[in-house]
Amino acid sequence: MKKVVQFGAGNIGRGFLGQLFNSSGYEIVFVDIDPRIINSLNQKGSYRLKIVGDNPQEIVIDKVKAINAEDVDRVVEEIRGAELLATAVGAKNLPSVAHLIAKGIEKRAKENIKEPINLIICENLPHASKVLKKYLLKEIDPSFINYLNTYLGLVESVVSRMVPVIPQEIREKDPTFIMAEEYSILPVDKNGFKGKIPKIKGIIPYPNLFAYEEQKLFTHNTGHAVCAYLGYQKGYRYIWESIQDNEIRGTVENALTETSKALVKKHHFKLEEQQNLVKDLLHRFANKALGDTVIRVGRDPIRKLGPNDRLIGAAKLALKYEIIPVNICRGIAAAIFFDYSKDPEAVKLVRLREKEGVDGVLKNICQIDPRGKIAQLVKKNVEDGRFKI
C-alpha cells in the first residue's frame, strides 16, 4: 500500500488531509506530539470524521498509525519508505518538522533512493515552500543538498476547508474524533512537484497557484473577516448568526462583489465561477453545525489589518482596478473596533486606538495614508470615536 507521512494530526491533518489520502488508497502515518492522539490512533488504527452540513455523514478513516515526533529514528524510517509527505503543523512549528524531514531525506540519499518524494505544505504562510526550504537547508548535511534539490518536491497549497473546534467533553471521550464541512478541494502548486504528480482525490494542481492564493485570501478570508467583525459589533456569537442578519449579509455580499470584480480583472477567472464561489461561501458561512464563532474568526486583528492581508489588501486590490471598496472599508472599520478583552492582540489594538485614534491605527498597523481614499472610506463608518452601527 502507498504510504504518506502526515506531520500534524490536528484539525487540518485529521479533518481534511486524512480524508483525501485515505480515499486515495494511502496508509497514513501521523507524526505529532500529543500523546493522547498518538495512543488513540495506534490503539484503533482509525478515527472518526463527521461531515456536518447539508449532507451529514460519518466516515471512518482507517489504515492509520501515529508516531511521536520525538522518536526521530522511527520518523526517519517512515520517511524512507513513504511515497508522499505532508505538513499541517502551524508555521511556528515548521523548523522542528524541517529537522525530521532533513534526516529522512538524508536516509533516502544514503540508500540511493532515486524515486522523487513530494511534500504538500498546508500552512497559512506566504511563500511557504521558500520558508521551509530555508529551514531544510539549515538542517541537512551539506553533502546531501544536491539530493534534496533533485528528489524533494515542495508543493504549496490553498486550504479552504473549515474545521470547527471540538467541544472539550467530546475530546475527553474520543481525542481523535473530528468534524469538518463537506468542502474538500485542495488547490496545489503544479510547479512544485518533482517526478510524477500523484493522483489524490480532491487535490487539483494549478500552474499559477498564486492566483488561487489571492482568490482564497480576498474571497474566503475577506468575507469571513467582514462577517465576523460586523457580527461582533452587533453582539452575535456565531458566524451563522451574523450572516443571517440581513444588513451584515448585504455588506458581506457587496464586499465580495468588490473583490470579485478585481480578481476577475487581475487573474482572468471566469466571472460565473467566481460568483458561484461567493454563493457557495455564503452558504458555508451559514452552516450552524460548524459552530464557528465571531471571536475565533476575528482574533488577532492586528495581523488581519496588515497592509497586504484580507482587509487592507482587498481594499487596495479593488482600488487598483478602479472599484471603490465601500463595503470592504466598513469591515475594516469594524475590525479597528474589535476589542475582545481576552485576545492580547485586540488589547494592543485598543490601546493604540485610544492613544492615537483611528488615524494611528491606519498609519501604524494598516500602513496607509490617513488622508487617502481607503482611510476616508473607513472613517465614514466612525462617529464620535465609535464604530457606527
pLDDT digits (tens, 9 = 90+) for 100-114: 999 999 999 999 999
Question: What percent of the chain has pLDDT above 70?
Answer: 100
pLDDT digits (tens, 9 = 90+) for 210-231: 999 999 999 999 999 999 999 9
Confidence at 124, pLDDT banded by 50, 70, 90: confident
pLDDT at res. 127: 93
Residue 167 has pLDDT above 90, yes or no: no
Average pLDDT rounded to a whole number, residues 137-165: 96
The dihedrals phi and psi of 2, each to the nearest 5 degrees, come to -65, 150
pLDDT attached to residue 165: 81
Per-residue confidence band for 168, with pLDDT thresholds at 50, 70 and 90: confident
Q: Domain 2-207 is in which class?
A: alpha beta
Rg (alpha carbons) of the chain, rounded to whole number: 22
pLDDT tens track for 371-389: 999 999 999 999 999 999 9
The grid coordinates of residue 267 equal 487573474
Does the pTM exceed 0.85?
yes
Distance CA 211, CA 314 (A): 14
H or E segment to which residue 27 belongs: strand 26-32
Integer Cα distance of 92 and 320 in angstroms:
33
Residue type present at position 304? K
Distance in angstroms (rounded) separating the CA atoms of residues 295 and 273: 30
Tell me whether residue 273 is exposed, middle or buried, using C-beta atoms within 10 angstroms of its C-beta: 0 to 12, 13 to 18, 19 or more: exposed
Specify whether the CB–CB gap between 316 and 374 falls below 8 A.
yes
Reading the block at residue 220, the C-alpha cell is 474566503
Contact in structure between 88 and 178 (CB atoms under 8 Å): no
| pLDDT-above-90 percentage for the chain | 95
Residue type present at position 285 = F
How far, in Å, CA of 139 to CA of 162, rounded? Answer: 33
Residue 271's pLDDT is what? 96
Domain edges within the chain: 2-207, 211-387
CATH code for the part of the protein at 211-387: 1.10.1040.10
In the chain, how long is the greatest CA-to-CA distance? 70
Report the Cα 279 to chain-centroid distance in Å: 20
Q: Of the candidates 368, 365, 332, 362, which has an alpha carbon nearest to the alpha carbon of residue 255?
A: 332
How many CB atoms lie under 10 A from the CB of residue 316? 18
Whether 44 shows a pLDDT value over 90: the answer reads: yes
Q: Dihedral sign, CA of 316, 320, 321, 323?
A: positive
Q: Which residue has the cell 495614508?
A: 369
